[in-house]
A and B are shown apart, each in its own frame.
Chain A
Amino acid sequence: MADLDNEQNKVPPLPSSISLISTLGVVAMLSGFLVVLVYEYTKPIIAENQRLATERAIFKVLPKANSYLTFLIKEGAITQVDDTTKGELIYAGYDKNNNFVGLAVNAAEQGYQDIVKLLYGYQPETGCITGYDVLKSTETPGFGTKITTDKEFLANFSCLDAKVNQEQTGLINVIKTVRHGSKAKPWEIDAISGSTITSNAVGRMFNKSGQALHPIISKNLTLIQSAKQLKRGDHGQLN
């Protein structure tokens, strides 16, 4: 015990600053080397995983699609881009004969815990939202997560009315979530009892996305519909 006290009282000589800095420098360099090595190795694998996840979601919301093309919406104009482009992307699905079968559009809104991100199917010719896939959600299990499992709620999206008005400035009707069991109009969403916050978030995000993007899609529909026939350099081919 006495030895221990002596050892504790003894102040060790302070090493020079250079030795401290060089130790930290060597360890930091070693750390940087390892991180770069693993980052470079996993980068293409992660990018491929992300592409596959997007592709899976697109073919889920557009079941008739066999391939797809990616478009970027920027300042009211639509241009065809590749998958790696960042920005407001929409995906147009085409069948085996390169006929247009619908669009997959991203939407996001604040839910109960965090932002809920969806990819939804949209038929511009009929103005229908025809289903969605949840891309990101941290909603409460058993409550907010019901948006993926509740059959009654999913039935809202057999054809949710999201038609564009004649002036092509927005939707004819505001999409909104109504109290459970009180849906009367095709543009209303019947909320899930007990999960109203997430149900409302779904309604808000469809309305926000519809008001902003559907008029632009409507104006450029011919371009999207014929893009596949004009350009054969397709990607996202379903094997």
Chain B
Amino acid sequence: MANSTKKEAPLTLDIFTAGIWKENPVFVMMLGLCPVLAVTNSVENSLAMGLASIFVLVCSNALVSALRNFIPKQVRITTYIIIIATFVTLVDYIIQAISLDLYNKLGAFIQLIVVNCLILGRAEAFASKNSFTKSVISALGMGLGFTLALVMLGGVRELLGAGQLLGYQIFSLNFEPWVVMILPPGGFIVLGSWLLLINYFEQRKTGQLITQDSASHCTVSQPRS
């Protein structure tokens, strides 16, 4: 109840974009890594898992935010889990209705969205403290960021592991696929490589800023000496 009386920060574009890159759930917060490693052996699977996660994330955050003033603190986690499990069950039926092939490919990982800590984490850390609109926008950003990370992993793994992208042959048929890339170790290798690359560029950017900063100090101090 106290939450509603607190002054909320205004709705800004940053709420939406933070989840996509600056606070990306996979590359920055390292949340929900189980499906990230397990289902990203192709772009199709990555996209399907990403879209399913966006649906669950947006719907559960919306409902948690709408009911935040009515849910007693003592039963909030139980309530959030019920809400999340409901939407996961819905997405499970919907995927079966859309394509059985896709459902069989994703295996148990659709049901396992229930225990994806990204979803419960956002419900507890954001949706339960913010307005409906902000919660939905933030969830959409986080979901898109999660999907982006899944597709970035899936793209590299499918390209190197099968020479294809979205099922289309990219490399010539003489290309010998790196089978390890579509096996579980490939998930770790590609995730590690992306983290290395992203952190390298982040550090370089920070390094450049520091250099620029110290350089500007130098120019100011020169006339004095």
For residue A12, which residue of chain B has the nearest CB? B73
Question: How far, in Å, is A147 (CB) from chain B's closest CB?
Answer: 16
A81 contacts the other chain (CB 8 A): no
A12 to B74, CA, bound (A): 10
Known contacts: A23-B79, A28-B82. The answer to whether A141 contacts B183 by CB under 8 A is yes
- Using Cβ atoms and an 8 Å threshold, which residues of chain A touch B83? 27, 31
Question: How far, in Å, is A30 (CB) from chain B's closest CB?
Answer: 8
A46 to B94, CA, bound (A): 9
The count of residues in chain B whose C-beta lies closer than 8 Å to any C-beta of chain A is 30
B75 contacts the other chain (CB 8 A): yes
Cβ of B75 and Cβ of A31 under 8 Å apart?
Answer: no
A24 contacts the other chain (CB 8 A): yes
Cβ of A35 and Cβ of B71 under 8 Å apart?
Answer: no
Cβ of A142 and Cβ of B182 under 8 Å apart?
Answer: yes
Q: How many A-B contacts are there with CB distance less than 8 Å?
A: 67
- Chain A, residues 125-167, CB within 8 Å of chain B (1/0): the string is 0000000000010101111000000000000000000000000
Pick the contact of A31 from B41, B74, B82, B100 — CB < 8 Å?
A: B82
Cβ of B70 and Cβ of A23 under 8 Å apart?
Answer: yes
Question: How far, in Å, is A177 (CB) from chain B's closest CB?
Answer: 22
A13 to B85, CA, bound (A): 29
11 A-B residue pairs with Cβ-Cβ distance under 8 Å, sorted by A, are: A12-B73, A24-B79, A24-B82, A27-B71, A31-B83, A34-B86, A42-B94, A140-B183, A141-B182, A141-B183, A142-B182
If A24-B75, A34-B90, A46-B100 are given as contacts, then 17 extra A-B residue pairs at C-beta distance below 8 Å, sorted by A number, are A15-B72, A20-B74, A20-B75, A24-B82, A27-B71, A27-B82, A27-B83, A35-B86, A42-B93, A42-B97, A49-B97, A49-B100, A53-B100, A136-B104, A140-B183, A141-B179, A142-B182
A contacts, CB < 8 Å to B: 12, 14-15, 19-20, 23-24, 27-28, 30-31, 34-35, 38-39, 42, 45-46, 49-50, 53, 136, 138, 140-143
